Structure 1
Amino acid sequence: MPTITKRGDTYRIRAYCGYDAKGKQVTRSTTWKPAPGMTPKQIEKELQRQAVLFQEQCSGQGWGGAVKFETFCKGWFEEYAEPNLRPRSVARLHQMEERTYAALGHIRLDKLTPRHIQSFINDLGKPGISQRESHARSKVDLVALLGEREILQKDLATRAGLSRSTVSSACRGESVSMPSAKKLAQALGMDYAALFETAAAKVTLSPKTIRNYHGFVSSVLGYAVRMGMIQHNPAQNVTLPPTERTEKECYTLEEAQTFLESLDNAPTKYRAFFVLAIYGGFRRGELLGLEWPDLDFENCMVRIRRTSQYLKERGTFTDTTKTVQSQRTLKLPAVVFDVLRKHRAAQAQERLMLGDQWHDTQRLFVNAFGEPMHPNTPYHWLQGFCQDTGQRFLGVHQFRHLNASLLISSGADVRTVSASLGHSQVTTTLNIYAHTFAEAQAKAGEAVAAALDFGGQRKARGSA
């Protein structure tokens, strides 16, 4: 409520209008003078009315929001995002800054309307909006080329100023960005066109990506509302493109059984990794974050307490789990721990062979020197393994979907499945696996019909 101060024959009305970008409270004031002949009671009544009107005027003008969106957004990263969000989440949000600032960064918070944001969302869906660089794929066997020149991949990465992961991808014949391919060609002293072929980049953004941009803008404006900078969040009134729900492709039970059997000839660490993925339904980062003390061999229990992640700026690092509910303990079959015992023995042998060169991190899944395994390594190994064995390749995360499908098909209720997968809410499980639950329910209905024999078919057969 505004404060009123009498100053001679006038009154000063001071209103509080939120906070500026630095968190300082903003105040505005105005002067009101009674008309000649007004009685004290009339003055008091009109003074209160003027105070309310001035407060509404200040609120409507959004005095605290007289700061540009880009300026406030950068403060939001420092004040809210970086202290509260996971590093990979912050990195993904930073990737949206350039395009968002180009469209909205110059507009003041108090002047930003739903139409501004709607126009931005609409533009994101237009062809040609994607600024993604074209990609390049090697036309020659880079591994053989490096072998002839006696150059290690890690040394090439240093020369080119690229990550070892990028160089490894290029050597496997996978697509890398055109700037990265040019750096590789330059580091090798060869012509780009002789080494790489260029593939055009996508020119449109997916509905999911567009929704992510909207979520970014809405989060920033929601914080501005909570800080008293603006009165409401204009992003709430925006129409978003519909998302197409596609049924998740998943391995069949027969394919899973074949895959498990084919792992008998695989290296023990990859056999252990994918056996855990199938039987536990763990996320990739959760598996890579496992340490030997997290395993209870006596009771066949696995404890999830951390994840292992990768960022170009930080390399491989340890992070918290995705949600609090993701920290969980699961009991797995004894056959899983038989595989883990073999993996532990094999890793101990590797440690003895390397001696002082081994980095003891206590992790289950490590590289050749005992350091935490790069998150992309299981994916690339699986891709090559499926190609060599003639099996369908669906990626690492599909084993998590396989585990969920098997749980649901076995009759597990949604809360049990949600807890096993480490979802923060049961609704998340229902949304992801709605089709699988529907199939399980249909099978249950068929079982009930068979048990009741509705229509007297069993009785009719008996009388016949």
Structure 2
Amino acid sequence: MAYIQPRKDKDGNIISYSVRVFKGYAPDGSQLKPYTASFKPDPNKTDRQNEKALNKFAVDFEEKCRSGLVADSRQTFAEYAEYVIGLKERAGAKHKTILSYRSFMPLTVESIGHLKLAEIRPQHLNNFYETLSKNGIRRTQGRATAKRDIKAMLKQRGLTIKKAAELAGVGNNTLSTVCNGGNIAESKAQTIANLLEMPMSKLFNIKRDNTPLSNKTILEYHHFISVVLEQADKEMLIPFNPARKATPPKQKPHTANYFQIEDVERIRDCLELEPLKWRTFVHLLLISGARRGEIAGLKWNVIDWRNSRIHIQNNLLYAPDRGIYEEATKTEESDRFVTLPAETMELLKEYRKWYLVQASNYGDQWHNTNYLFFQEKTGNAGKPMHPDTINGYLDRFSERYHLPHINPHAFRHTMASVLYFNKVDSISISKRLGHSKVSTTTDIYSHIMKEADKQSAECIANVILRPKTDPCEKKQNKTKAGFDRNQAC
């Protein structure tokens, strides 16, 4: 039943009526703010006519509320964004996507969080994007470097690095890093300063990143806001999504970096000097074109020995709140079979023998997780490796052999470039890479496709326009198609 309350002016005359409809209760038991509407009497009608119109308005309004046709646009962006993030999480959004959304909340709420959904206009968003492009906007903590010899100070107190790390509540690697002159997170430095009972300012230099956010990051903020407001549009809380009419900065097209064949050959030769585990891992990165987490997430049961292929069906990731965890592939299309050459299968057989020896050597301390690539540290032996370990290894590998900078994704781009330069079609390449759309592949590798097209032109010219044999001899070597096999590309 709608609740009707008259509103009067200072002289006691009724100027309008407030109509309220009970909305329900929140999960915590508190009563939600009711639906509200206003009815203004028509001065040209009688009191009886206005009363009849008011009752009809109240009945219609209550019916619309019960049917979900009344938009509650009085929620602030901050309140509604929390609801949308929870909604996306329950709907099965990737955990890293949810973490990303939450990372955007502080600055977004600071700027437009107080605005009601119905109040948000494109100008508000444009102003926010401009703010994000200014110096000093970042809220990330600084990096700390020791001013003094931390290791000597610990020794004076009779503390080993292991014991000090335990007392401070930080990892051994963190304390070792700062003792060796490296930089650590500001929060970790504070715990070490507390342990040594010294002010942070006397013990550490703090460096903060005051540079503005990149256009790429600002576009990610724009995407987050768009997701929230698009949901409000779907739920008919706002007449349109203002993010569609905003003007975020443009991002320069990303050029996929790939290795030249000479670099690949050098990397391949240097890998022969490396441990078998890492040789196998990097080999798979290059030959399969799979993502870092996809290779790290491989288990022995996904290797199809008979058909010389692997089934990529999960992704190994890391998040601070979860640690190392396994998740489904990036998209449905990323769940795929990738055929491997005979050389790769032979390497996997060799690696399998080594793997079984390692499992046997660790005995009861071995964690039988079935992951191909595992941690070797006592206590964690057999557990899946941290994905960032791969980047760390590649950094050291490239420095050791004076190679160009190597990141896991560069191998993926290299494989794609090799296929394009050898005239493999985009559909086949897209399927091997696990892209959801062929257009994704062509967008990423458009510059490579242009280079490959130049080579195609040279190939056609070599066959048709640049004969290298005597015309009579050429006539004898022609195929039914009319081309000389000896001159084919």
Compute the TM-score of the two structures, normalised by the length of structure 1: 0.81
Looking at structure 2, the residues matched to 212 and 258 of structure 1 have their Cα atoms a distance apart, in angstroms, of 37
Residues 201 and 33 of structure 1, relative CA distance in 2, 3 Å threshold: closer
CA apart distance, 1:251: 1.4
2:434 aligned with 1:422: yes
2:122 aligned with 1:122: no
Looking at structure 2, the residues matched to 428 and 77 of structure 1 have their Cα atoms a distance apart, in angstroms, of 26
Looking at structure 1, the residues matched to 358 and 151 of structure 2 have their Cα atoms a distance apart, in angstroms, of 25
Match of 1:453 in 2: 465
What SS is found at the alignment partner of 2:310?
Answer: strand
- For each residue in 1:33-67, what CA deviation from the matched residue of structure 2 results, as whole angstroms up to 9, or x when unmatched? 69679xxxxxxxx99xx99xx9xxx9xxx852111
Looking at structure 1, the residues matched to 318 and 42 of structure 2 have their Cα atoms a distance apart, in angstroms, of 66
Looking at structure 2, the residues matched to 392 and 342 of structure 1 have their Cα atoms a distance apart, in angstroms, of 28
Looking at structure 2, the residues matched to 203 and 313 of structure 1 have their Cα atoms a distance apart, in angstroms, of 27
CA apart distance, 1:299: 2.0
Residues 354 and 78 of structure 1, relative CA distance in 2, 3 Å threshold: same
2:264 aligned with 1:252: no
- Listed as ranges, the matches of 1:19-30 within 5 Å are 26=35, 28=37, 30=39
Give 1:418's aligned amino acid: S
1:389 is aligned, of 368, 389, 401, to 401
CA apart distance, 1:183: 2.8
2:425 aligned with 1:413: yes
Match of 2:209 in 1: 201
Compute the TM-score of the two structures, normalised by the length of structure 2: 0.77
What SS is found at the alignment partner of 1:269?
Answer: helix
CA apart distance, 1:130: 1.8
Residues 412 and 160 of structure 1, relative CA distance in 2, 3 Å threshold: farther
Looking at structure 1, the residues matched to 264 and 20 of structure 2 have their Cα atoms a distance apart, in angstroms, of 65
Give 2:253's aligned amino acid: R
Looking at structure 2, the residues matched to 194 and 393 of structure 1 have their Cα atoms a distance apart, in angstroms, of 36
Contact 2:76–2:114 at 8 Å: present in 1 too? yes
Match of 1:376 in 2: 388
Looking at structure 1, the residues matched to 96 and 168 of structure 2 have their Cα atoms a distance apart, in angstroms, of 25
Residues 165 and 64 of structure 1, relative CA distance in 2, 3 Å threshold: farther
2:73 is aligned, of 50, 55, 65, to 65
2:270 aligned with 1:262: yes
Give 2:404's aligned amino acid: R
CA apart distance, 1:176: 3.0
1:327 is aligned, of 331, 335, 339, to 335
CA apart distance, 1:222: 0.3
Give 1:353's aligned amino acid: N
Match of 2:449 in 1: 437
Of all paired residues, the percent bearing the same amino acid is: 30
- Listed as ranges, the matches of 1:346-357 within 5 Å are 346-357=354-365
Q: Higher RCO, 1 or 2 (CA under 8 Å, sep at least 6)? A: 1
What SS is found at the alignment partner of 2:106?
Answer: helix
Match of 1:178 in 2: 186
Of 327-336 and 128-137, the range deviating more from structure 2: 128-137
Looking at structure 1, the residues matched to 33 and 453 of structure 2 have their Cα atoms a distance apart, in angstroms, of 57
What SS is found at the alignment partner of 1:387?
Answer: helix
- Listed as ranges, the matches of 1:49-198 within 5 Å are 63-137=71-145, 150-152=160-162, 158-162=166-170, 175-184=183-192, 186-187=194-195, 197-198=205-206
CA apart distance, 1:205: 0.3
Aligned residues between the structures = 431
CA apart distance, 1:171: 7.5
Contact 1:20–1:67 at 8 Å: present in 2 too? no
Looking at structure 2, the residues matched to 104 and 405 of structure 1 have their Cα atoms a distance apart, in angstroms, of 44
What SS is found at the alignment partner of 2:144?
Answer: strand
CA apart distance, 1:242: 1.8
What SS is found at the alignment partner of 1:95?
Answer: helix
What SS is found at the alignment partner of 1:65?
Answer: coil
Contact 2:72–2:237 at 8 Å: present in 1 too? yes
Residues 34 and 246 of structure 1, relative CA distance in 2, 3 Å threshold: closer
1:404 is aligned, of 416, 424, 427, to 416
Looking at structure 2, the residues matched to 393 and 31 of structure 1 have their Cα atoms a distance apart, in angstroms, of 71
- For each residue in 1:309-342, what CA deviation from the matched residue of structure 2 results, as whole angstroms up to 9, or x when unmatched? 1111111011111000000001111111222122
CA apart distance, 1:162: 4.1
Match of 1:308 in 2: 316
Residues 137 and 302 of structure 1, relative CA distance in 2, 3 Å threshold: farther
Where does structure 1 lack aligned partners over 5 or more consecutive residues?
A: 1-13, 38-45
CA apart distance, 1:190: 7.9
Match of 1:217 in 2: 225
Match of 1:3 in 2: none
Looking at structure 1, the residues matched to 45 and 322 of structure 2 have their Cα atoms a distance apart, in angstroms, of 72
What SS is found at the alignment partner of 1:451?
Answer: helix
Residues 266 and 196 of structure 1, relative CA distance in 2, 3 Å threshold: farther
Residues 29 and 437 of structure 1, relative CA distance in 2, 3 Å threshold: same
CA apart distance, 1:201: 1.5
What SS is found at the alignment partner of 1:302?
Answer: strand
Match of 1:7 in 2: none
| Alignment RMSD (CA, Å) | 4.0
Give 2:425's aligned amino acid: D
Contact 2:143–2:206 at 8 Å: present in 1 too? yes
Residues 331 and 214 of structure 1, relative CA distance in 2, 3 Å threshold: same
Contact 2:146–2:181 at 8 Å: present in 1 too? yes
Residues 71 and 32 of structure 1, relative CA distance in 2, 3 Å threshold: same
Of 72-81 and 25-34, the range deviating more from structure 2: 25-34
Give 1:328's aligned amino acid: R
Contact 1:131–1:203 at 8 Å: present in 2 too? no
CA apart distance, 1:160: 3.6
Match of 2:49 in 1: none
CA apart distance, 1:398: 1.0
Looking at structure 2, the residues matched to 362 and 86 of structure 1 have their Cα atoms a distance apart, in angstroms, of 24
Give 1:386's aligned amino acid: S
Contact 2:85–2:101 at 8 Å: present in 1 too? no
2:291 is aligned, of 283, 286, 292, to 283
Contact 2:146–2:178 at 8 Å: present in 1 too? yes
Where does structure 2 lack aligned partners over 5 or more consecutive residues?
A: 1-17, 27-31, 47-52, 474-489
Looking at structure 2, the residues matched to 362 and 230 of structure 1 have their Cα atoms a distance apart, in angstroms, of 51
Of 117-126 and 275-284, the range deviating more from structure 2: 117-126
Looking at structure 2, the residues matched to 15 and 27 of structure 1 have their Cα atoms a distance apart, in angstroms, of 6
Looking at structure 1, the residues matched to 123 and 25 of structure 2 have their Cα atoms a distance apart, in angstroms, of 23
Contact 1:132–1:202 at 8 Å: present in 2 too? no
Contact 2:144–2:184 at 8 Å: present in 1 too? yes
Contact 2:154–2:161 at 8 Å: present in 1 too? yes
